[in-house]
Structure 1
Amino acid sequence: MTENTLSILPADLIQKAKKMSKAYEYLYCIENLLRDFIDKHPNRILLNFSSEVQKSIRVRKNEEQKHNWISLRGNSDLFYIDFKDLADVISNNWDYFKDNFPSQIWIKAKLEDLTKIRNLIAHNSYIDSDDLSLAKVHFNTIARQISGNKNICFVSQPTDNIVGNFFVEGLSKSKLWTYGQVSDGIEYLFYFPATIDVAPILLRAFYYQVSIAFYIVYENCKILLNPSFNTSREYEECKNLEFLNKNVQFQIGFHDIDKDGLEELFICAKDQTREFIKDGMVINVFKYYPPAFKRHSGRAENWDLVGDFKCWEEKAYVKESSITIPRNLRGFYYEWTFVKGEFRDTGYH
Structure 2
Amino acid sequence: MFESEADQFQSAGIQVGADQSEVEERLLSTALSAFGVSRRNNALNMARLYAVLHCFENEVRALIRETLEEKERTDWVDKLPNKIKIFAESRQKTAVDDSWLEGEKSDILGFVDFGNLAAIISENWKHFEAVIPSQHWLKQRMDELEKVRHFIAHNRVLLPSEYQRVYMYVADWNAAVGL
Q: CA deviation at 1:68?
A: 4.9
Structure 1 residues 44 and 32: CA distance shift in structure 2, 3 A: farther
> Does residue 43 in structure 1 map to residue 71 in structure 2?
yes
SS of the residue aligned with 2:40? helix
Q: Report the Cα distance in structure 1 between the residues aligned to 2:112 and 2:72, rounded to whole angstroms.
A: 15
Could you tell me the percent identity over the aligned residues?
A: 24
Rg comparison, structure with higher value: 1
- The 5 A counterparts of 1:81-160 are 81-147=112-178, 155=179
Q: Of 29, 32, 44, which aligns to 1:6?
A: 32
> Does residue 56 in structure 1 map to residue 87 in structure 2?
yes
Unmatched runs of 5 consecutive residues or more in structure 1:
148-154, 156-349
Q: CA deviation at 1:78?
A: 1.2
The two structures, once aligned, show a CA RMSD in angstroms of 1.7
SS of the residue aligned with 2:131? coil
Q: Of 2, 21, 27, which aligns to 2:47?
A: 21
CA deviation map 1:84-110 (0-9, x unaligned): 101000111111111111111111111
- TM-score, normalised relative to structure 1: 0.40
Structure 1 residues 6 and 28: CA distance shift in structure 2, 3 A: closer
Q: Which residue of 2 aligns with 1:172?
A: none
Q: Report the Cα distance in structure 1 between the residues aligned to 2:103 and 2:55, rounded to whole angstroms.
A: 18
Q: Report the Cα distance in structure 1 between the residues aligned to 2:162 and 2:169, rounded to whole angstroms.
A: 11
Instruction: Output the amino acid matched with 2:114.
Output: F
Q: CA deviation at 1:76?
A: 2.3
Unmatched runs of 5 consecutive residues or more in structure 2:
1-27
Structure 1 residues 21 and 91: CA distance shift in structure 2, 3 A: same
Contact in 1 for aligned 2:132/2:176 (Cα 8 Å):
yes
SS of the residue aligned with 1:31? helix
Instruction: Output the amino acid matched with 2:60.
Output: L
Structure 1 residues 99 and 7: CA distance shift in structure 2, 3 A: closer
Contact in 2 for aligned 1:64/1:72 (Cα 8 Å):
no
- TM-score, normalised relative to structure 2: 0.75
Q: Which residue of 1 aligns with 2:108?
A: 77
The count of residues paired between Structure 1 and Structure 2 equals: 147
Instruction: Output the amino acid matched with 1:90.
Output: I
Q: CA deviation at 1:128?
A: 1.1
Q: Which has the higher contact order (CA 8 A, sep 6+)?
A: 2
Comparing both structures, which one devotes a greater share of its residues to helix? Answer: 2
Contact in 1 for aligned 2:89/2:108 (Cα 8 Å):
no
Contact in 1 for aligned 2:88/2:111 (Cα 8 Å):
yes
Instruction: Output the amino acid matched with 1:126.
Output: V
Q: Report the Cα distance in structure 1 between the residues aligned to 2:41 and 2:120, rounded to whole angstroms.
A: 37
Comparing both structures, which one devotes a greater share of its residues to strand? Answer: 1
